[in-house]
Amino acid sequence: MENYYLAVDIGASSGRHILGTVKDGTISLEEIYRFENGMEKRNGHLCWDVESLFHEIKMGMKQCAALGKIPCSMGIDTWAVDFVLLDRDGRRLGDAVGYRDDRTKGMDEKVYEVISQEALYERTGIQKQIFNTIYQLMAVKEEQPEALSGAESLLMIPDYFHYMLTGVKRQEYTNATTTQLVSPVTKTWDYELIRQLGYPEKLFTELSMPGTVVGTLTKAVQDEVGFNCKVVLPATHDTGSAVMAVPVPENGERKGHETEKTHDTDGLLYISSGTWSLMGTELSEADCSAESRKANLTNEGGYEYRFRYLKNIMGLWMIQSVKKELAAAGEEYSFAELCRMASHETIKSIVPCNDDVFLAPKSMTEAVNAYLREAGQEVPETAGALAAVIYNSLAQCYKETVEELEAITGRTYQAVNIVGGGSNAEYLNQLTAKATGKTVYAGPGEATAIGNLLAQMIRAGEFQGLAEARAAVYHSFEISTYV
């Protein structure tokens, strides 16, 4: 009898429940539930509706019972950096404010009054992003000191959902590293830094690795969803899960490219492509050098204490925003249609994708056009041309990031592995291959959910380790090649 494993993968715009099974070393997936997500204004801030999200988590679990496919374990992954505070009775204090909220404006300078930006990077290896948890906590300290002083626990968003399911509080390692409060040397909280910043030490407890059993469902949840199962930590940071699912053949040879040897797992070059594009490699030790800091590369924690040495790139957020704006204006296009339209355009204009003006503009279309006008570049006049500007800009950003990674690591990469939803964007994949001069292997699209499942499957003994699991991904899912 096959065992079912349930991955609940929640992104910035949607979530999904995916059941996974393994038979003869091949992984099969079945999406059984999907729901919408997004930030909304609450009390003057952009917030996540965590009550609604938890309801959707349970609705998807009920679908397992309805199908008669009861998982032996489940785990939840989400985006990084955001958190909730809980009081001594385990009740949430305040709203779950999202990373696109502007409450962190100026909070970096407050942090730098305590520790310089240079010293902070040398200590944590995490790139400067104004929405990092370290700055969000400073905003709480400055604006809501009573909430911080009254808090007994801090849980990242997926840790909070695991707590709601089991009644057990666990802080998972890969997501914790994105707070910019974890030491890459000790691989646990940097308590000295936490004390210096004036954050309550009691909020930061022992970190748990992916594969850790959190517990079983509470009786209330069991009664509601109709079954009991183990809750097992995946890499709760969605990028951590996606990188676990980068497909690597065990014999080091690609289908159709038998003479081309793949790099080892420490030499992977990947893009986890979704709302954000996370582009990087894997390292066994963090690089906290000044050169790395100046390139704005980050050392996020990965499975088995690997380091995801990567750069956050604005990613498909830009095209997602444009798609919504076009729809609001009566122009409905699918992403595939936007890719096709862009492929016929000749516009050469480029914008810097990571510029703060594109983080949360009122209108992405106008933000792109305004930047191009000010830069003296051609302004797109059609939806296809606008999409072409964004896709070409992303490919250029990927090219620059490859060059930085090769210069700093001293490695030369032969290929780029693109996983996640963006791996289906054929035109962008073609542009990426052309811009970087690398072979692009695209797929699987559901990498985050697959990586979530892999942590559970390895824990259950379906695979003997990450290398075997990655090889199973390679043989289980279609991988497209672009040269």
Q: What is the DSSP letter of 348?
A: -
Nearest to 212 by CA among 168, 156, 164: 168
Does one domain contain both 159 and 285?
no
Average pLDDT over residues 208-225: 98
**Taking 80 as the threshold, does the pLDDT of residue 248 lie above it?**
yes
Q: What are phi and psi of 442, to 5 degrees?
A: -110, 125
Is pLDDT larger for residue 81 or for residue 275? 81
Q: What is the pLDDT of residue 106?
A: 97
Entry pTM: 0.90
Among candidate residues 181, 208, 232, the one where a domain is terminated: 232
Task: Locate all alpha helices (DSSP H) within 46-153, ordered by sequence.
Answer: 50-67, 107-112, 117-124, 133-143, 145-149
Does one domain contain both 89 and 222?
yes
Residues annotated catalytic, as ranges: 238
- Binning pLDDT at 50, 70 and 90, where does residue 263 land? very low
Q: What is the per-residue pLDDT across 25-52, written as a single tens digit (0 to 9) for each?
A: 999 999 999 999 999 999 999 999 999 9
Nearest to 78 by CA among 201, 149, 164, 168: 164
Q: What is the per-residue pLDDT across 113-125, written as a single tens digit (0 to 9) for each?
A: 999 999 999 999 9
Q: What is the per-residue pLDDT across 380-405, written as a single tens digit (0 to 9) for each?
A: 999 999 999 999 999 999 999 999 99
Q: Is residue 241 part of a domain?
A: no
What is the torsion angle, in degrees rounded to the nearest 10, for the CA atoms of residue 311, residue 314, residue 317 and residue 322?
A: -150
* C-alpha angle 268-118-124 in degrees, rounded to nearest 5: 50
Q: What is the DSSP annotation of 369-424?
A: HHHHHHHTPPPP-SHHHHHHHHHHHHHHHHHHHHHHHHHHH----SEEEEESGGGG
Nearest to 356 by CA among 419, 312, 326, 387: 312
Q: Is residue 270 part of a domain?
A: yes
Is pLDDT larger for residue 257 or for residue 360? 360
Residue 367: CA count within 13 A, CB half-sphere: 20
The CATH number of the domain holding residue 112 is 3.30.420.40
**Taking 70 as the threshold, does the pLDDT of residue 363 lie above it?**
yes
Does one domain contain both 262 and 217?
no
Cα 160 from chain centroid (whole Å): 17
Q: What is the pLDDT of residue 13?
A: 86
Does one domain contain both 228 and 330?
no
Distances (CA, A) of 17 to 1, 75, 76: 21, 10, 9
Q: Which domain holds residue 100?
A: 5-232
Amino acid at position 91, single letter: R
Does one domain contain both 224 and 257?
no
Q: What is the pLDDT of residue 267?
A: 60
Q: Is residue 237 part of a domain?
A: no
Q: At what angle do helices 335-343 and 383-409 cross, to 10 degrees?
A: 90
How much of the chain exceeds pLDDT 70, in percent?
96
Among candidate residues 207, 232, 257, the one where a domain is terminated: 232
Q: How many domains does the chain have?
A: 2
Does one domain contain both 344 and 206?
no
Does one domain contain both 261 and 400?
yes
Average pLDDT over residues 353-362: 90
Does one domain contain both 192 and 219?
yes
Q: What is the per-residue pLDDT across 471-483, written as a single tens digit (0 to 9) for each?
A: 999 999 999 999 9
**Taking 80 as the threshold, does the pLDDT of residue 253 lie above it?**
no
Is pLDDT larger for residue 335 or for residue 268? 335
Q: Is residue 239 part of a domain?
A: no
Q: What is the pLDDT of residue 257?
A: 41
Among candidate residues 210, 232, 254, the one where a domain is terminated: 232
Q: What is the pLDDT of residue 356?
A: 87
Does one domain contain both 362 and 440?
yes
**Taking 80 as the threshold, does the pLDDT of residue 211 lie above it?**
yes
Q: Is residue 238 part of a domain?
A: no
The Cα–Cα gap between 287 and 307 comes to 9
Does one domain contain both 182 and 309?
no
Does one domain contain both 279 and 216?
no
The Cα–Cα gap between 455 and 466 comes to 9
Enter the tokens of residue 105: 């404006």
Does one domain contain both 17 and 102?
yes
Q: Is residue 141 part of a domain?
A: yes
